[in-house]
Chain A
Amino acid sequence: MHLTTEDLSTIFLTLQLASVTTVLLLLIATPIAWWLAHTPSRWRAPIAALVALPLVLPPTVLGFYLLIALGPLGPVGQFTHWAGWGSLAFSFSGLVLGSMIYSLPFAVQPLVNAFEAMGSRPMEVAATLRANKLDAFFTVAIPLAKPGFVMAAMLSFAHTVGEFGVVLMIGGNIPDKTRVVSTQIYGHVEAMEYAQAHGLAGAMLVFSFLVLLVLSWTNRRKAQTAT
């Protein structure tokens, strides 16, 4: 395999982006998923649809709206300038924001499933044992939903690694800041450097296969322990 130092730096940056995105995403996806799994509110359906939007929207649409939103006239851009953070476009933070939106359904959906499968009984039992709600959530709900968290984390991570269109639209292809593996492969192909494209593309293929393989194994083990 033929990987240059530039290629390696895109791999490192991609892993960094996926890690930061996954951690932040789990933090915000957990309350959203909990609410979706338990609320009787009539807002549940529209919010669920909103969360699932990135699944069906082409990344060019997300990227296009993000580019406009991050610009100095866009709502996010105006806020970040007002807050003194400058512009998020063409920055690592901007990519994190874009990736979080892009991978949101992949974090929320497994958690909703896990919380729903748990049912309301464990939390009721915890309440009768006088655990307060927050306490019960951390000591009962989270451990019970652990497989859901594992799956949410793996899917978010892998999906962010595979992100392309959004990064292309708002990244600006800056080495060590916004140039990730997928955009680097695209660059190699466009520049007709097929040998280098093969190296990275092959690595990507193997990585994605391994993630799905591990997911499939964990799922089966979960199914077996459940029966």
Chain B
Amino acid sequence: MPSLFLRLFGWVIISISAVACATAKAEEVTVAVAANFTAPMQKIAQAFEQDTGHKALLAFGATGKFYAQIKNGAPFAVLLSADDETPARLEKEGVAVVGTRFTYAVGRLALWSKNHSLVDDKGQVLLSNTTDKNGFKKLAIADPRLAPYGAAALEVLDRMGALAKVRPKLVQGDSIGQAFQFVMTENAELGFVALSQISIDGRITQGSAWVVPQNLYTPLKQDAVLLPVGKDNLAALALMKYMRTDRAQTIIRTYGYSL
């Protein structure tokens, strides 16, 4: 009774060739994504797969770490950076494909608290005293040396004249993700986070927040760049194009970025 074995064997051959055919058309692209862009990128990757059949494998993390990894041969095909300096630097150092850089999103900074009544719509809470009823003990920011959102937060504090006063209350996360975590767990009453982390469709999802006016800090331009690994990868090239389609840009705006 060899038929069962033969039939099984036949199925295996058929399914292997089916998978092989599918992969011949659709490729995979490994993307290094800035931590603050996690949520929108997951949505975009889904849409990208629906629309093009290509698959985007996403790695989220701090841009500085990606820089070190890319310089040392990490297999990323595309970098979606948290800033515009890192892609420029990679290009200058010959580890990014020249002429492929573009701004895929401009980040928005928000002052946020889990407490519903702590943050007012002008950020005046930053100027309050610890002893006030509306006082706060800890203000979380991303490390200004490592994260553009952290540097922007310092800029805002400086322009408001609040920096000297709040400096002793500052706690730093290594990324904007960690600054968010400190406020989320209420270990810090207040924190500067990315608007994308706390809002969807223009609504703040919980607590109270002040969306910082963009004239108070240098624009948080986030640039994408193609890396040598992705030079001949169809999926990588398609993704670079896809980021600029209406569908992707709508998702990006939904999460509180401007373009």
Binding site for B on A (CB under 8 A): 67-68, 70-74, 77, 86-87, 89-90, 168-170, 172-174, 183, 186-187, 189-192
Contact = CB atoms under 8 A, between A and B. Distances in A.
B91 to A, nearest CB: 15
B145 A71 contact: no
A87 to B, nearest CB: 7
A68 B185 contact: yes
B187 A190 contact: no
B187 A191 contact: no
B21 interface: no
Contacts of A67: 181-182, 185, 187
A192 B64 contact: yes
Given A168-B174, A189-B64, A190-B64, A173 B187 contact: no
Given A173-B143, A192-B64, A192-B67, A187 B174 contact: yes
B187 A71 contact: yes
B68 A173 contact: no
Given A67-B181, A87-B187, A190-B146, A173 B138 contact: no
Contact of B185 (A71, A183, A189, A190): A71
A71 B189 CA distance: 10
Contacts of A186: 174
Given A67-B187, A70-B187, A87-B187, A191 B146 contact: yes
Given A173-B172, A187-B143, A73 B62 contact: no
A190 B138 contact: no
B146 A72 contact: no
A90 B186 contact: no
Contact of A191 (B145, B172, B173): B145
Contacts of A72: 186-187
Contacts of A168: 174, 178
Contacts of B140: 172
A196 B83 CA distance: 23
A18 to B, nearest CB: 22
